Amino acid sequence: MVKVLTTSPGFGKHGRVPDEIAAHGWDLVRCDDTSKPDGGVSEQIADADILVVGLVPVTADTLVGADNLKAVIKHGVGVDNIDIPACTAKNMPVCNTPAANADAVAELAVGFMYAMARFIPQGHVCVTSGKWERRVGTQLGGKTLGIVGLGNIGKRLAKLAIGVGMKVVATDPYADMAFAKENSIEILSLEDLLGKSDYVSLHIFGGKDNAALINPDTIAKMKPGAKLINLARGEVVDLDAIAAALDSGQLGGVAIDAYVTEPPETSHPVFSHPNAIFTPHSGADTKEAVENVGLMVVEDIATIMEGGMPKRCLNAGDLK
């Protein structure tokens, strides 16, 4: 029997995915023990065939003793928590599921913008606490959205924002210029984007190259009162700088879905700020997206177990 380990809490639970796994006859083992750094992978990996990864890091140490492992597959898009060279050294394909959850993440970004523009969380607290304090917000139409990272999610978000009457600018060193031209999206440097945007939405990979991309210096370049959305990775933003900017009014609001440590340490002052919104890394958590991602993972597992190479393999050119 094929043994599939997963550290993703959503894999194999939604839509048609459980039936597909059962039809293949695979043994799905969940490694979600939060008391262990690897979720318990090390205790199960010796005879595992496939590792389906959530947010738990996969390092060279993870792969020690994984002599039967045939592939590492991300249940999602970002692979910054997977040591791809270490997998390649053991001749293991690494796959992900590009675009499968792009609509879900983009829609949450729009939800965040509306929530901040119309003070929806504050209004909810006001009414449920017995108060009646009406706050005058702003409309999204006519405002400028700056998208940092014009990949699959950034493109979906751009379309949605344009649909509600926003102007969209973007920064991305590998921008799809044909898409940008077709949708009248101006491609700018990060500095210029920050200076022009009423809302800034982050859709980039984590890792050292983007660590603390939003910091005191970059926040100072933003329009006073601009609002920030982080649906990327926790390390992309400096929470100390964000808290200070919210206090000073340089930032008019922030919405965050990803954290360096999950769940985060909520004693940090940013978590008590009235103009901050937080969600539990749920950008991709829609029934539709989780099913789409899961079906792509199932397809790749089946391909690998049949001796093939998935089309979504990220290191195919380096494998023997």
Residues 42, 26: Cα–Cα separation, whole Å: 20
Q: Up-side HSE of residue 280: CA atoms within 13 Å toward CB?
A: 3
Assess whether 135 carries a catalytic annotation: no
Assess whether 233 carries a catalytic annotation: yes
Residues 12, 14: Cα–Cα separation, whole Å: 6
Assess whether 281 carries a catalytic annotation: yes
Query: Pick the catalytic residue: 14, 75, 203, 281?
Result: 281
> What DSSP letter does each residue of 206-266 carry, written as one string?
-SGGGTT-BSHHHHHTSPTTEEEEE-S-GGGB-HHHHHHHHHHTSEEEEEE---SSSS--T
Instruction: Name the phi and psi angles at 148, rounded to 5.
Output: -100, 100
- Is 49 in contact with 68 (CB distance < 8 Å)? yes
Query: Pick the catalytic residue: 133, 191, 262, 288?
Result: 262
- Is 46 in contact with 29 (CB distance < 8 Å)? no
Query: Pick the catalytic residue: 30, 75, 233, 312?
Result: 233
Q: Give me the active site residues, please.
A: 233, 262, 281
